[in-house]
Structure 1
Amino acid sequence: MNTPLPHWLELALPFFHPVLMMVAFALALYALYLGIQARRVRTASANERKELIKGKFGQRHYLAGSLFLLLMVFGAIGGMAVTYLNNGKLFVGPHLLAGLGIVALVATSASLVPLMKDGQKVWARNVHVVLNVVILGVLGWQAVTGFQIVQRIVTQMLTTPQVA
């Protein structure tokens, strides 16, 4: 069964994933900032801590991280779905494989949170930080390869004659 999509949706659909991923990348940077601030709260002197604690950085970091996980899962599934809808297949290459790897790393990083809650599992916090640094690096590289894909899509849209 091959049901055609409305024309406006056909034009907009390829840009859903890139926009969502740009939002996710910005959110990742914000979560990094909040994580650094939460660490400052834990390591600050008593007077400084009293002032910093008002920022609720730990809670905000947790919420930003949870939203980032949500965006990455929906972004990965959405990107694959749109690619399949537009092309009838997935293109298995570095962008797809790295994206799936990022989702796995984000899920792993999030799974360490309960171990960090009590503050006694220092190794969990260290692994969480390392994973998130790797995620940010790969996500930055994904942005570059993603923009190359978007350029190809736009070029294809501009050169393919429209059927009325």
Structure 2
Amino acid sequence: MDIPAPLQPIITFAHPVLMWILLGLSLYAMYLGIQSRRTRTASGDEKKTLVQGKFILKHHQMGSILLALMVLGTIGGMGATYINNGKLFFGPHLLVGLGMTGIVAVSASLTPLMQKGNDIARSLHIALNATLVGLFGWQAVTGLQIVQRILNPS
């Protein structure tokens, strides 16, 4: 498939840019999650102050955005790689990216259980998302290496 020259950079670099944005949004979602937990466990004036921050609602909204953009970003990255190269490169970056997409989906699916007060689901949600953020950091490094190979082909 021939991509018009003006669209080539957009198709090639949309995935890396989106993923770096998602890394930042993931860190923000983690902050909101911590504040949500503080709100849930606080009492008295501290709880009243934290409730005004609407951290739980913001955490849910950010989680929904992350889920949607992670799935679309994964599909887009694989699509751009296939369009540009006629194949996917089977390696750690691809496999970890697919695993991260699964993790974010499972993590989001725990929300109804957490809303019913299931502490096991809550602990699993936290563990999955901590793993996700760690993997995101690793993916950022390997993704930059891929971008450098695209910019400086040998």
Report the TM-score, using the length of structure 2 for normalisation. 0.97
| Post-superposition CA distance 1:40-98 (Å, at most 9, x none) | 10111221101110110000001101111111101100000000000000001000000
* Structure 1 residue 60 corresponds to structure 2 residue 48: no
Cα distance in 2, alignment partners of residues 57 and 105 from structure 1 = 22
Structure 2 partner of 1:41: 39
| Post-superposition CA distance 1:95-145 (Å, at most 9, x none) | 0000000000100000000101122x1000000000000000111000000
Q: What does residue range 6-155 of structure 1 map to in structure 2 within 5 Å?
A: 6-119=4-117, 121-155=118-152
Q: Residue type matched to 1:88 in 2?
A: G
The size of the alignment, in residue pairs, is 154
Pair member with larger Rg: 1
Q: Residue type matched to 2:134 in 1?
A: G
Q: CA deviation at 1:6?
A: 1.5
Cα distance in 2, alignment partners of residues 108 and 5 from structure 1 = 35
Identity of aligned pairs, percent? 56
Q: CA deviation at 1:12?
A: 2.3
Question: Secondary structure, in 3 states, of the residue corresponding to 1:5?
Answer: coil
Cα distance in 2, alignment partners of residues 104 and 21 from structure 1 = 16
Cα distance in 2, alignment partners of residues 36 and 6 from structure 1 = 45
Q: Which runs of 5+ in 1 are unaligned?
A: 160-164
Q: Residue type matched to 1:152 in 2?
A: R
Question: Secondary structure, in 3 states, of the residue corresponding to 1:110?
Answer: helix
Cα distance in 2, alignment partners of residues 24 and 74 from structure 1 = 11
Q: Residue type matched to 2:94 in 1?
A: L
Cα distance in 1, alignment partners of residues 71 and 65 from structure 2 = 10
Q: Residue type matched to 1:153 in 2?
A: I
Q: CA deviation at 1:11?
A: 2.4
Q: Residue type matched to 1:128 in 2?
A: H
